[in-house]
Amino acid sequence: MSSQTAPGSSPLVAPVLEWYDEHARDLPWRRPEASAWSVMVSEFMLQQTPVNRVLPVHETWLERWPTPADLAAEPTGEAVRAWGRLGYPRRALRLHAAATAIRDEHGGEVPADYDALLALPGVGDYTAAAIATFAHGRRHVVLDTNVRRVLGRAVSGVEFPARSVTRAERDVAAALLPDDEPTAATWSVAVMELGALVCTADRPRCDACPVVALCAWHTAGRPAYDGPPRPVQTYAGTDRQCRGRLLAVLRDAEGAVPSDRLDAVWDDAAQRARCLESLLADGLAVRTADGGVALP
Residues belonging to the active site: 43
Q: What is the rounded distance in angstroms from the CA atom of residue 276 to the CA atom of residue 286?
A: 10
Using CA of residue 66, residue 94, residue 89, residue 194, what is the dihedral sign?
Answer: positive
Which residues face 294 on adjacent strands? Answer: 286
Distance set, CA 105 to CA 18, 66, 135 (Å) = 40, 18, 19
State the SS3 of the chain.
CCCCCCCCCCCCHHHHHHHHHHHCCCCHHHCCCCCHHHHHHHHHHCCCCCHHHHHHHHHHHHHHCCCHHHHHCCCHHHHHHHHCCCCCCHHHHHHHHHHHHHHHHCCCCCCCCHHHHHCCCCCCHHHHHHHHHHHHCCCCCCCCHHHHHHHHHHHHCCCCCCCCCCHHHHHHHHHHCCCCHHHHHHHHHHHHHHHHHCCCCCCCCHHHCCCHHHCHHHHCCCCCCCCCCCCCCCCCCCHHHHHHHHHHHHHHCCCCECHHHHHCCCCCHHHHHHHHHHHHHCCCCEECCCCCEECC
Total residue length of the chain: 296
Radius of gyration of the chain (CA): 21
